A and B are shown apart, each in its own frame.
Chain A
Amino acid sequence: MFKDKNPLIYLIAIVAVIVMGGGVGFFLSQINQGNTVVRNEGASSVVQNDYEPDDSEWEDTIMYDGKRYKKNENISTVLVMGVDTTVSAVSSGLIGNNGRTDFMILLLVDKKAKTIQMLELSRDTMVEVDAYNNDGKLIYSGLDHLTMQYSYGNSPASGCRLTRDKISHLLYDTPIDHYLSLTIEGMKAVVDLMGGISLTMPEDYSYIEPAYTKGATVLLDSQAVERFVRYRDTKNFGSSEVRMERHNWFLIELFRQMKNDQNKIGVDKILSTADPYLETDLDAEAIQKIMGSNLDENSKKVPGESKAGEFYDEYYVDETALQELLVDLFYLPVDE
């Protein structure tokens, strides 16, 4: 019938048929206005999205300051915690023997760019701490220092998970993919394994040791490292913020020197040395990958304000600034 006609004929035929089909459909819908039959298998299926037109605008996007953003899928998060086990936490009659988290840094690992951004949290951040008993039952919730949440776990792993969930909620339900916690003793063991850690003081820390003047290069053994990170002048208000800066900088140095020495000692040896003091849901391979990334030395801090509490410093988060920071760290603008 068609022989070897111009292919354009076929195209016209298809278009014509579609238009006619559409026309018939339209005509039928006009005369059939009362009789549309729709599957109705009961309330639950009706409420499901079978009938909700797909609105891809919503999925994984947020509106902030009049603009639309999408989650950066390349970022995974690891919560690194330094646990102080030598002090048993006392709060409202409950004693936790697993210690408290002295420092908490969230690593934002960009799988694509192979960089790590650090987000520091102050131990004194005031949050609704959930107090559990030894059977894991929630007793009450009350405003307290973030460091305390760990102490209500009935095991190191449980303390890690409680802290992880509390921080995730603080960061507007940002998912935290993994955690890694190391006690002070574990950190000391690693430092000894590495033969000490060499630090060039970025600030004047001579209040800790006279030799720690700005610019001085000092080799610290494990005892000196412990003193360096734990030193806290409780008489000075706001001293925990200064201590946080020290932690942050120290962590960069430790990480960098672990990376540089990697060939000499090896991640496996470091991990086996740290193992008795380590609590993590990362496997060795995952840790290797993190070690292979570049640490962005410009770390961020959860924004807020320090206030003098009855006994200790209290840090109150600035919600507006925090939301802005989270958009900056975890989201990418969507082109419209």
Chain B
Amino acid sequence: MSKTIQRRDFLKSSAIGSLGLVLGIQQLASATTVTKLNPSILELEINPFIIIDTLGNITLVNSRPDMGQGSTQAVPSLLAEELEVDLTKVNIVQSDGRAKYGSQQSGGSSTVRSLWLPLRKAGAAAREMLIEAAANEWKVTPSQCYAKDARVYLKDSGKSLSYGELSESASKLEIPKNPKLKDKADFRYLGKYHKRLDVPSRVAGTAVFGIDVEVPNMLYAVMIHAPGIHTKLVSVDDTEAKAVTGVKRIFASKRKMPHTEVDAIAVVADNYWAALKASKLVKPTWATEGAVENSDDYFAAMHKEVVNEGVNAEEKGDFNAFYKFSEKKLEAVYETPFLAHAAIEPVNATAHVKEDGTVEVWAPIQGPDGALSQVSKYLGVDAEKVKINSTLLGGSFGRKAYMDFLMEACTISKEMNAPVKLVWPREEDTAQGPYRPAMLSSMKGVISKKSNIAGFHHHAIGESIMGQVFGWQPPYEADSWLSGELSEENHKYDFDVHKLSYSRVKTTIPVVWWRSVYASNFAWGQESFLDELAHEAGKDPYEVRMDLLKDSKRDQIVLEALKKAANLDEKLPENEAKGIAMFRSFESMSAACVHLIETEEGIKIAKVTSIIDCGMYINPDQVKAQTEGNIVMGLSAAIKGGITFTDGKCDQSNFDSYQFLRISEMPDVEIVIIENDEAPGGVGEPGLPPIAPALGNAIFNLTGKRIRKLPIEMNSLV
């Protein structure tokens, strides 16, 4: 039985997190420390990520919360590979937000690509220290020794010492600055198929998610939020609600978001059902102040910007002049809606603001470091007095990196002077946001006399996540996140004349990153419009892309793999069609083909083929799993309803009104991973962006109908 993060280990691990010297992974040259846990066992923190006690128990730290992407195994794999230990024989714990672990944010598909070298170096440094300690013991040179399976051996002798026996002397040695990393050919974990050791707990129901945390004497809370951003609480009639057995208190509160705050009502009880039941019996009187914002208002404001240019992010040549003097040209506007993350585990947090001035929280959050600084700042409590327990996340997709709910739990705990678990009912989770922003792509293209796609202008329009969430978006610059994703350097299409511009249209509707961030919005416009231009030029969409990518062999390899795997040359019957798209995001490339079959029952998505080039990776099965997930989430975003606001309120509330793909709608899937030695790229998100445009392009190829607005109503196509 593996030791994954079970509850007992999880609670115990919190103690480990507070041990020892603060030693960042950038400071491997610094001294190490020895910390006594109890008189009989020494726990030695060789560096913040590796703890070996004198009995030989090895603990590896995962610094990136696991929301389903597999970081619980991926991060320790980097350490174990170089440390030469067996992952089934170590204890894995989650970091607690302290600075010594570096950035602990799961997001931006950054985990493996940012930790690939630092954590391998940490593992290798520890291995070299253990070997040196053994060499000192045997009075030989380190080159006469080698490490294997948590022991150091003296070559050509029967001698060996366990890591436990060596840990104390090893921890007193200087940390090597440039430890030697293993060759790829010798890898045992990296790039290899391994079953995830945390899976047994996830199929036995014993994995502890945020919602499962229990703290002694804990109270349970529901927060009811103002139905609209512009709604104020006038009064509350809680007579009936208070009469529910178990209800402790009902009081007015606030939800603080980066760009605004809204009124809310906290309902606290001694069990969750009582809080939930009472929350439905609370009779608030809300009043609306000033004009409300509907999603249609925001779309109208975005459409007004189509005639403008916006702020230039980049331009090659003079697009407007080129467009004006060209004969064959095209323009079109593409739309994507607001979307909810809709993780099945609703947002929740348990907090205990204690009388002694310390604070402890347990929550499914994407970044314990961000949680630590935000809770500390929010409550005005020194960070040293705040303890963050970062639990498993039952899905997140970006949502649980926005920690409004954690601050709410702190507010309620402080008010109640007790530990409190806050769980948003599903209806609040859906209707309160934050959401993936709705955006427009206003596209213009020019076809040369030789029928090449010579000019391309992507004018991105909509809210800036940077602007709304971080309050920083100068009017003279394009949002750097979207301009990065749409730049020529990123997509590699070599147009003669190219322009990328951005118009910010503000909204009060809360927005945030959602799986693949803006790539999920703008791949739709970029890749659909490229097909439009190809058809206008009388060329094959595949050939057009290959031609535009002539200077980027790596992208061409991805497309060629798609052609082969999806059998693009196959002659299809009239009732079938395929569409393709590709997009590069988070330093990885993905291309997809959607295969449609029309029957008497309508148009069916029969198969999706995805190619992913993420450079070197940790576990091929995890790359496939994430890409499968991206196909499902990408299709849901393409064909299921978005989030809309009417009279200032969200029109959707639960999974009956906000839907995503069910098992019966699941197409066949095929994933191909491109094998190369390129630096690791992202895995959790890059598979998503090409899905919607590949579907739109397939629909055009089947029906001749060009869809420019998401979501697509598949039933209305025939």
The yes or no verdict on A and B being binding partners is no
Chain A positions within 8 Å of B, measured between CB atoms, are: none
